[in-house]
Chains A and B, each alone.
Chain A
């Protein structure tokens, strides 16, 4: 077992919603700590307009491990990183850090837009605490990594936003050699080519460190992290030792809203997934065959209707489309037509995550929408790892030639 480099025990942090009060409390806290009165003594009491931005969070990270911090915006991820880097102090609990702390957090801190890229490397390097000769020694490496060509000797204000981020990242990743690495949403920088370069560099760096990784990108989280801490409103929602479980808990924080629209000439009810003789399944193993059951009722005069079914991902992006599903219906006594239908979905070899159905019924000729319902029969694809890609397919390769 590797040594513990980060030990966080029951930390809490208060923030204040009111600016004037916040500043005043800052002044009070400052004065108190000056006169040696422990701020801790009365710190568990919330003053007016204060709230716990972080409450009772604990975790340990060993060398070689990577803890993913995930949660909605405002869940307190960045606040925790700030406490870890020692920028702010917890109002409650205690943090122990062993070793040199480095972060890929504020890329390009201290850049002056009027100076050239090369000059700014020295500025940023000095702010990161590196001596000049070390920066000199690694300058070529930085230039190569940033790969912005002759712009290196142009003023930074002439850079595109991507270029300055590239330079900032290059400096940090080449110069910072920490024991504890803090990453805040910095991997999705630059174009695709640069992003891959960053991922590789960070991976190499991360192997030797204890890493705390903040991201909203679950692909990054599942490819980097060894465990996941899901935060919700400043509290630990789930501390998952399996990444898949953590990612799942994070995704569950965002329920898919059910919504219906259309002229109302059709009704879609009793929607459920049918699998292995059972209806109403919500957890589905990756790659199995399932079907969708639903009851369709068309009340109007319309004879010729078109039925479309879609599987949507968490972000409501259509992933699979079942266009123009044939739907034989029986006529009722009152003139409407209806039937319980079963639509075979085929192999659900979707990436791990949360999905739901959209069913739409329209008049074929006029394209008038009779009914469109979204957020139907939400389900979840279970898999050990979240892969890169919408569809995950097992396969093997055969030898064609040597």
Chain B
């Protein structure tokens, strides 16, 4: 069966699992939604401080630096969430996988849903922050969810491709946060894309670069020149996701056999 069809057939299960995790995460916490906003806000605060103290220099007459960092972080956070969540979900669902014949794809699909949902909340916060920093965003700001979708798709593709390995070895889950702490500097999250040089070349290879650049264009300029890259990144992500699910279904019995009773 086609992996997309598998997901569609399991849409009800995906929804139930998504709402289960959402409800549970808010019921078990005192601050609830605040936890969604704190990590991106803290990252932003650090970079604002670094900029104020001239440790890093950034001067753009049009865009206030906090907003510049926030637009980058909103995309980056969605990407990393999407890349980490499926691994956590898979780990947490092992007891189900080893006992009941279910579609693992349905469980994994909760990852992108949840990261998109969290991302949207962060986007809403961003919209409220624009006027605080005296910025009147163009109408294209409404396209930001589109950038969010591509970022989530890229993160999901990365996670799903790694699941078979992560199902057997815990190394993947341990390595991911470490990789991201380095990887963040290979994307224009906290500083702009350099005009030239080797760093620009490396960043251009990163599919996330186009997503962040487009998000900034939509927030500050209006139109964007990044459509082709954005489109290519999205197609690439979809292709990888499809392949990953296809592989998953083939090898799932082998994974279950090694995951224990």
Contact = CB atoms under 8 A, between A and B. Distances in A.
Interface residues of A, number: 37
A131 interface: yes
Contacts of A195: none
B95 A22 contact: no
Contacts, number: 97
A127 B102 contact: yes
A106 B23 contact: no
A85 interface: yes
B96 interface: yes
B253 A87 contact: yes
B99 A105 contact: yes
Interface stretch (B13-21, B52-60, B192-200, B201-209): B13-21
B100 A105 contact: yes
A23 B168 contact: yes
A34 interface: yes
Given A34-B250, A87-B101, A126 B164 contact: no
A27 B169 CA distance: 10
A126 B12 contact: yes
A123 B101 contact: no
Contacts of B250: 30, 33-34
Interface stretch (A114-122, A278-286, A310-318, A364-372): A114-122
Q: Which of A33, A88, A131, A155 has the most CB of B within 10 A?
A: A88
B79 to A, nearest CB: 27
Contacts of B28: 114
B254 A128 contact: no
B98 interface: yes
B254 to A, nearest CB: 4
A132 interface: yes
Interface string A57-87: 0000000000000000000001000100111
Q: Which of B12, B17, B23 has the most CB of A within 10 A?
A: B12
Nearest to B259: A26
B258 A22 contact: yes
Contact of B261 (A25, A34, A78, A131): A78
B253 A88 contact: yes
Interface in B239-261: 247, 250-251, 253-258, 261
A27 B254 CA distance: 8
A127 B164 contact: no
- Taking chain B's interface residues, is the majority helix, strand, or loop, or is none over half, making it mixed? helix
B96 A109 contact: yes
B35 to A, nearest CB: 15
A56 B261 CA distance: 21
B16 A123 contact: yes
B17 A126 contact: yes
Contacts of A9: none
Interface in A1-56: 13, 15, 22-23, 25-27, 29-30, 33-34
Nearest to A14: B257
Contacts of B169: 23
Given A115-B20, A126-B12, A132-B12, A26 B101 contact: no
A34 B101 contact: no
A299 interface: no
- Taking chain A's interface residues, is the majority helix, strand, or loop, or is none over half, making it mixed? mixed
Given A30-B251, A119-B20, A126-B12, A106 B95 contact: yes
A86 B21 CA distance: 27
B251 to A, nearest CB: 4
B260 to A, nearest CB: 9
A33 B254 contact: yes
B5 interface: no
A30 B257 CA distance: 11
B170 to A, nearest CB: 10
Contacts of A112: 20-21, 23-24
Nearest to B251: A30
Interface in A202-237: none
A30 B100 contact: no
B96 A34 contact: no
Nearest to B164: A30
A260 interface: no
A131 B9 CA distance: 11
Contacts of A115: 20, 23-24, 27
A101 interface: yes
A110 interface: yes
A89 interface: yes
Contacts of A105: 99-100
Nearest to A29: B254
Contacts of B102: 127, 129
A392 B169 CA distance: 55
Given A33-B250, A127-B13, A131-B12, A23 B99 contact: no
Contacts of B251: 29-30, 33-34
Nearest to A113: B24
A6 to B, nearest CB: 15
Contacts of B24: 112, 114-115
Contacts of B12: 126, 131-132
Interface of B: 12-13, 16-17, 20-21, 23-24, 27-28, 93, 95-102, 164-165, 168-169, 247, 250-251, 253-258, 261
**List of 5 A-B pairs having minimum Cβ-Cβ separation, nearest first:** A106-B99, A26-B258, A30-B251, A126-B16, A114-B24
Given A26-B255, A27-B168, 16 more contacts: A15-B257, A25-B258, A82-B98, A86-B101, A87-B97, A88-B253, A89-B253, A101-B101, A106-B99, A109-B95, A109-B96, A110-B96, A114-B23, A114-B27, A126-B17, A127-B100
Interface of A: 13, 15, 22-23, 25-27, 29-30, 33-34, 78, 82, 85-89, 101, 103, 105-106, 109-110, 112, 114-115, 119, 122-123, 126-129, 131-132, 155
